[in-house]
Amino acid sequence: MFIASSAKECLEFFKNESIELVISDQRMPEISGLELLAKIKTLNPLIPTILLTAYTDHNVLKDAFNKVGIHKYINKPFDTESLKMIMDMAIETYRLNQKNEKILLELKESEVKFKGIFNSILDVFVRVNNNGIIEVISPSIKEFLGYSAEELIGTEEIKLYANTNDRTILRKLIRDQKIYRGLIVMLLTKSGTRKYASISCKTYNDLAGNPIGIESILRDITESKLKEKELRESEEKFRLLAEQSPIRIFKVNDLLKIEYANRPISEGDQMIHRFFPKETQEAVVKLIANVFRKDKEAYFEFEETNLDGEKIWCALNVSPIKENDETVSVLVMINDISEKKKVENMLRGLNEQLEIKVQERTKDLEKTKEDLEKTYLKEKTLNNLKSQFVSIASHQFRTPLTVIKSNIGLLEMQIDHAEPMIQEWLFKVNKRIQTEISRMTDLMDNVLILGNKDAAMIQTDFQMVDILKLINSVIDKFNQIQTDKREMKLNITGRSSLFYLDPDLFQHAFSNLISNAFKYSAKKPSPELTIIFKNRKAIIKIKDYGIGIPNKDKPNIFEPFFRATNVNEIRGTGLGTSIVKQYLDLLGAELIFKSELHKGSEFTIILNEKLHG
């Protein structure tokens, strides 16, 4: 018991000590007794409080009970025994309230745990009254049959049964035995499909012990039932296959006794080794024993005599049959492999023959290889000789041509001094000689270029080139030398850019195509040049309206020294387009053409833009 002389001291006691009852006088030095008890109630609403007062104030009395909730209001003077009795009753009431609070808390915790378990169990709990109405069902029914618990509570249980006889049987069993486990029934899902369930149930009674319904646990066994069905079907298929199989099949235990055979056996043939020739029985017994000991498959071939007295080859396969990772029996299969042996022997003979042929063929290939190497060396020598010949021939031709040209120059200086009658004739002869010298020089240049290309001697000098500027310079040169005054028509689309290429190789190839466009379209409209800059490419089209190329000649148009059959009256060497193709290949450019006889030709160069090599 603690006595406080002030409200502050009382509150300190209350905070630091375990207090079961507070008695306060209404008249206090700091605050009223009612105000003190109100503060104590905020700290512990259950603690009983008693207010003592020497006078009766109805408002104080009203506030004491309604607002503060005091246990007792006592007027002074009071009887000590009565006060003690009131105090004992108040303390006892407080202790009972504390116990009730603890019990209530435990009940709430148990309820939460039960609900958690009830909501999380995989099996389905269901309670049905005697009228067949579902009163309680766990949420796991949703996973099982597709219904929510709310959908089924208050509905008839019979709607869940695929076969109503199952429910009738269950009711009879539970009525007779009060509790039953393991009845297998078929239930209907919300979508109409069927599922297997194992039901364990018992009656539940009212307080008087009278049965008022059934409580059941439903377990989904659909998957296991389906697997059982598959297993039965598989076993049946195996039995049928085994009985019809030409292979002899046995199931043998660790004592070598046959537990199953796919063909009838007599009572005297219960041991597996009796099915083997005497000379192999010991080996078979050891083989089977090893399979039991090592848990590994084994294979063995042996020869025996069949019922017709013929020698046959058989294969023995022994495989372990396990239960809980332990070999409890073995599967023994005996198969006639006589045909396989014949095929193996035949294949062995064929392989030997094939090996002989391979050796012979290898010798032939080695000889062919030697011949090819000799041919390659000859070809290489011929290419070198050709390259040397081209170079020497070009040089030897150039020297007399240069001499002739220089002497013609001297002759030109004398034309002006000749008699007028022969002056004109000399001028014509001089011009004819000059033309033929130029033609011979071009021919030698082309032959030398072709020879260098075949010998892989062309040196390239790739650099960034303004392609449009280079093309314009070539066009200007050809426009100026046309005796018929025709000029190349130029069309440009897009914005020009730089291309990484060898300017000399491109200029030579492009000039050749421009020259051909003028040469093979004499007395026709001017050729046209179209340049399209698009998608980092330059598409260059050279189109003429000349004689065209016959279809039969098109496949050979890029072959060296080839000339179309319709150009006999037009001078040429047949090297130009071949050199064009080779140079453009070196530049990584694409060259395509199309042509129609008597209507003209169009050659297209496609350059891919590159910023560097």
Closest by Cα among 327, 328, 330, 329 to 319:
330
158, 130 in Cβ contact below 8 A? no
Name which residue leads in pLDDT, 8 or 256: 256
Rounded to the nearest 5°, which phi and psi values hold at 522? -60, 140
- The encoded tokens of residue 229 equal 């069905």
Residues 6+ apart with CB under 8 A from 35: 7
In this prediction, residue 448 carries a pLDDT of: 60
> Which sign does the torsion angle of CA 139, 145, 150, 155 carry?
negative
- Tens-digit pLDDT profile for residues 554-591: 998 888 778 888 887 787 777 788 889 988 999 999 99
The whole-number average pLDDT for the span 483-504 is: 92
Distance, CA of 21 to CA of 25 (rounded, Å) = 14
Asked whether residue 453 carries a pLDDT value surpassing 60, the answer given is no
Find out whether 161 and 167 touch, Cβ atoms under 8 Å. yes
Q: Which range is least confidently modeled, 3-7, 222-226, 295-299, 316-320?
A: 3-7
Could you read off the pLDDT of 89-109 as tens digits, one per residue?
877 877 887 787 777 777 776
Contact 126, 216 (CB under 8 A): yes
Lowest mean pLDDT among 38-52, 204-218, 239-253, 422-436: 422-436
> Predicted confidence band at 295 (pLDDT cuts at 50, 70, 90)?
confident
What does the mean pLDDT of the chain come to?
81
29 φ, ψ to 5°?
Answer: -70, -30
Handedness of CA 351, 354, 360, 364 (dihedral sign): negative
- Model pLDDT for residues 182-209, shown as the tens digit of each residue: 788 889 999 989 999 888 888 888 888 8
Q: Give the per-residue pLDDT at 111.
A: 61
Peptide bond into 45 cis (omega under 30): no
Q: What are the residues whose beta carbons fall under 8 Å from the beta carbon of 337, sequence distance 6 or more? A: 301, 313, 314, 315
Is pLDDT larger for residue 388 or for residue 240? 240
Query: What is the C-alpha to C-alpha distance for residues 608 and 534, in angstroms, rounded to an integer?
Result: 10
CB 578 within 8 A of CB 589: no
Residue 463: pLDDT band by 50, 70, 90 thresholds?
very high
Q: Could you report the per-residue pLDDT of 366-403, keeping only the tens digit for each? A: 888 888 888 878 877 766 665 565 555 555 556 666 76
Which one is predicted more confidently, 46 or 390?
A: 46
In percent, how much of the chain has pLDDT > 90? 17
Q: How far from the centroid of its chain's Cα atoms is residue 282's Cα?
A: 55
What pLDDT sits at residue 611? 47
Which of the two residues, 374 and 59, has the higher pLDDT score? 374
Reduced to 3 states (helix: H, G, I; strand: E, B; else coil), residue 393 is helix
Residue 500 predicted with pLDDT over 60: yes
User: Which residue in the block uniquely carries the two structure tokens 């195996």?
Assistant: 238
| pLDDT confidence tier of residue 328, bands split at 50, 70 and 90 | confident
115-159 confidence digits (pLDDT tens): 655 565 678 888 888 888 988 888 888 888 899 989 999 998 888
